Amino acid sequence: MPLPEKSYYRPDEVYKYFGIPKSTFYKRMRNGKIKYILVGGIDRRIPREEVERMKVDPFE
């Protein structure tokens, strides 16, 4: 399933795209291995540039 073309993605879109467990994805976000922004101080969004980086430099 390809990702839609947009500037920011919800975490669930990204972890489903890469086929990794939700808990692993959020742990990597907390540890700073996945860059994100906060929208409204609550919602996390992953920039498209970060998703592209993750395609080249996958999870270690």
Mean pLDDT, residues 43-60: 88
Number of Cβ within a 10 Å radius of residue 44: 16
Task: Look over the chain and give the mean of its residue pLDDT values, rounded to a whole number.
Answer: 91
pLDDT in tens, 21-42: 999 999 999 999 999 999 998 8
pLDDT for 18:
92
Residue 2: pLDDT band (50, 70, 90) is confident
35 close to 46: Cβ distance less than 8 angstroms: yes
In a domain, 3, yes or no: no
Torsion of the alpha carbons at 54, 35, 32 and 12, rounded to the nearest 10: -70
User: 49 lies in which domain range?
Assistant: 8-56
Main-chain phi, psi angles of 59, to 5 degrees? -60, 130
At residue 1, the 3 state secondary structure works out as coil
In a domain, 36, yes or no: yes
Q: What is the count of structural domains for the chain?
A: 1
- Output the pTM of the full model: 0.85
pLDDT for 1:
66
